[in-house]
Structure 1
């Protein structure tokens, strides 16, 4: 399931053997069906701490890293 952390980013959690991994997505611009927002993957699977660090580095002014922390444990 995708969880929005802003209007332009969302994440999904993948759990396997007590190991949570996260993937980040951004809106897909090349879509003809406007009824539902489509998302494209912009990262691979990362740990919660890795995703927080990636968000803080790539979106430092947006508050996305803090929004991610509200749903993930790092």
Structure 2
């Protein structure tokens, strides 16, 4: 392993330019809170069932029960 690493390092060149961090979730490469938030949920699906639960005419205790059932939290 040491010899393999030595061969790889022989082909490497160091440069005098300073290192730069690039954020891959924006086109500019700059970090932003919004891009981090979007990256957190990248690939997830949105579920808007909460609108059906909380915007209906039912009493609050029924809404809460349906919300728990939707979250698979009824025991």
Report the TM-score range of the alignment, normalised by the length of the smaller protein.
Answer: under 0.3
TM-score (norm 2): 0.24
> Comparing both structures, which one devotes a greater share of its residues to strand?
1
